[in-house]
Amino acid sequence: MSESRAKMAYADAEGRIYEHPDLEMLGWDGECWRPLEADELTPLPEGSDLFTLPGRLAAGYDAERDEVVVFDEPGTTAVSCFIAPAYLRTLLPAYETLDDAPALPLFAYSAVGIRDGEMVTATVRVDEDIRQDPFRFDIDDIAGRVATRREAHPDNRLIEHLENCALNYHCRAAQNYFLDRFEAPLPAAPTCNAFCVGCISLQPKGGDEQMVAAHDRIGFAPRVDELAEVALGHIARVGDDAVVSFGQGCEGEPLNQPLELEGAVRAIRRQTDLGIINLNSNASRPDVIRRLVDAGLDSLRISTNSARPEVWAAYYRPVGYDFSAVRESARIIRDAGRYLMLNYFVFPGVTDTEAELDALSAWIDEARVHMVQLRNLNLDPEVYLDRIAAVGGTGQPLGLIPWLSRLRERFPELTFGYFNPPRRKMGGLDADLRVSM
Ligand code: SF4
């Protein structure tokens, strides 16, 4: 590992990226810009993307003068990276936003620089699971398998929807379904009872942040037989390591389809006790969670940006429920002895604060959370920080690595990761606890 610091990167009007000869790379911890030590830097993980940041000037560090410099060479912009899955971003890019700058699209922007001719960033791998390593996906092979599966199930609208996800959105979960491995997606809901600021499946036209959803939300509610057919086929081909999950990026909130979900879980468990039936959800409907537990649901992954109700509400903009419903859903899973995970949207300057550490610790302790999945929040940093600061949710950043170490110290049994685990990786659960119906 090189001992040298990285240089600032910037781009010209054509998007070509350059290394500044003198200025050093800076990172933004959500509160201020700071230089990065050599041991904070990692070569850009394979599968990461590089972005120019329109209407934003790069900022660098002049070590000789010990001062920060905004690089305003005409026609140049700041750059950032969108790190590959299974990696946690630890610092935002440092840039100055010009008045007429557009909002940034829905990606997780990370600091990037150049060291010894190589792109580097501030990140740590949080899950060794290989299921979304980009070099393991052959699109021609996938296309062939899609055609075969569609031919075998011509009337299943869900498989038709997943064809679009796999071939056009390049969704790794949908691709793994057609590749008969790991986790299969079961998108179920065209509607949602929240309006997350960074929702990737639905953004209000002409919204105040002018952001565009990354993909279209599913336009119909799959029937019980369509959901069960996809799940049972996947479990039959993958075996007990299979995970089938309601709640995907291409849908609203699955709890809005209680009859379809309950019917599908019962239909699956009537035929097999193999695999894991998982629900990714905003956990807004404890009444439905209870019915799904009774039907045979194995695990729940609750998505949240915070354990503090005011910070959560500022992002989720819930309709007809509040954070107490989310905590009640967690308690129901705890009391039923099922596997409980948080899909925890991490953001420098919001997550790594004392207030969040204490609130999250209290929730993990109360609900006996088994796993925290550390996800980078996909949102324009200034849009998010402004919104969270308005409810007093920002604070003195502790640094994500030190923050994470303190959380680990408090909960040595807690699993950290990025992906929904198969049964054999569900630490803390009686591995033989099969929900037989
Ligand atoms: S809960 Fe999910 S589907 Fe609903 S608004 Fe939030 S991100 Fe979008």
Cβ–ligand 1 contact at 199 (below 6 Å): yes
- Render pLDDT for 189-211 as a digit per residue (tens, 0 to 9): 999 999 999 998 888 776 555 57
Distant-in-sequence, close-in-space partners of 289: CB < 8 Å, separation ≥ 6: 255, 279, 281, 283, 297, 300, 329, 332, 333
Residue 208 confidence (pLDDT)? 54
Q: Which of 192, 216, 317 to mutate to test the pocket of ligand 1 (most atoms within 8 A of CB)?
A: 192
The residue to mutate among 197, 250, 253, 326, having the most atoms of ligand 1 within 8 angstroms of its beta carbon, is 253
The per-residue pLDDT for 206 is: 64
Our answer on whether the CB atom of 196 is closer than 6 Å to any ligand 1 atom is: yes
* pLDDT tens sequence across 314-347: 999 999 999 999 999 999 999 999 999 999 999 9
Q: Which atom of ligand 1 is nearest to the CA of 252?
A: 3
User: Is residue 192 lining ligand 1, measured as CB closer than 6 Å?
Assistant: yes
| Residue 147 predicted with pLDDT over 70 | yes
Between the CA of 203 and the centroid of ligand 1 the distance, in Å, is 10
pLDDT reported for residue 433 = 44
Residue 406 in this model has a pLDDT that exceeds 70: yes
Mean pLDDT value across residues 148-161? 98
| 252 Cβ inside 6 Å of ligand 1 | yes
pLDDT digits (tens, 9 = 90+) for 72-120: 999 999 999 999 999 999 999 999 999 999 989 999 999 999 999 999 9
Residue 222 confidence (pLDDT) above 50 = yes
**Pocket test residue of 202, 209, 250, 344 for ligand 1, highest count of atoms within 8 A of CB:** 202
The alpha carbon of 321 and the centre of ligand 1 are apart by a number of angstroms equal to 14
Residue 437 has pLDDT above 60, yes or no: no
Chain segment 267-322, per-residue pLDDT in tens: 999 999 999 999 999 999 999 999 999 999 999 999 999 999 999 999 999 999 99
CA–CA separation, 316 vs 93, rounded Å?
24
Tokens 């170490």 found at = 405
Pocket flag, ligand 1, residue 421 (CB < 6 Å): no
Average pLDDT value over all residues in the chain:
95
pLDDT at 428 over 60: no
Domains of the chain listed by start with CATH number: 7-125 (no CATH), 134-425 (3.20.20.70)
Mean pLDDT, rounded, for 362-390? 97
Per-residue model confidence (pLDDT) at position 434: 53
Whether 304 is in the pocket of ligand 1, judged by its Cβ within 6 Å, is no
Residue 203 has a pLDDT of 82
Label each residue of the chain as H, E or C: CCCCCCEEEEECCCCCEEEEEEEEEEEECCCCEEECCHHHCEECCCCCEEEEECCEEEEEEECCCCEEEEECCCCCEEEEEECCCCEEECCEECEEECCCCCCCCCCCCECEEEECCEEEECEEECCCCCCCCHHHCCHHHHHHHHHHHHHHCCCCHHHHHHHHHHHCCCCHHHHHHHCCCCEEEECCCCCCCCCCCCCCCCCCCCCCCCCCCCCCCCCCCCCHHHHHHHHHHHHHHHHHHCEEEECCCCCCCHHHCHHHHHHHHHHHHHHCCCCEEEEEECCCCHHHHHHHHHHCCCEEEEEECCCCHHHHHHHHCCCCCCHHHHHHHHHHHHHCCCEEEEEEEECCCCCCCHHHHHHHHHHHHHHCCCEEEEEECCCCHHHHHHHHHCCCCCCCCCCHHHHHHHHHHHCCCCEEECCCCCHHHCCCCCCCCCCCC
Contacts by residues 398-405 (CB-CB < 8 Å, ≥ 24 positions apart)? 398/352, 398/353, 398/354, 398/357, 399/29, 399/90, 399/352, 400/88, 400/90, 400/346, 400/348, 400/351, 400/352, 401/90, 401/124, 402/352, 403/351, 403/352, 403/353, 403/357, 404/374
Nearest CA to ligand 1 atom 7: 199
Q: Which atom of ligand 1 is nearest to the CA of 251?
A: 3
Q: Tens digits of per-residue pLDDT, 107-116?
A: 999 999 999 9
Indicate if the pLDDT at residue 435 is higher than 50: no
Q: Supply 336's token pair.
A: 């039923």
Cα of 291 to ligand 1 centre, how many Å?
Answer: 22
pLDDT score recorded for residue 122: 98
Identify the weakest region by mean pLDDT among 205-219, 223-237, 287-301: 205-219
The rounded Å distance from CA 195 to ligand 1 centre is 6
Assess whether the C-beta atom of 146 lies below 6 angstroms from ligand 1.
no
Mean pLDDT, residues 254-265 taken together: 98
Check residue 212 and give its pLDDT.
Answer: 79
Pocket of ligand 1 contains residue 201 by CB under 6 Å: yes
The pLDDT assigned to 145 comes to 98
| pLDDT score at 215 | 83
pLDDT band at 431 (very low <50, low <70, confident <90, very high): very low
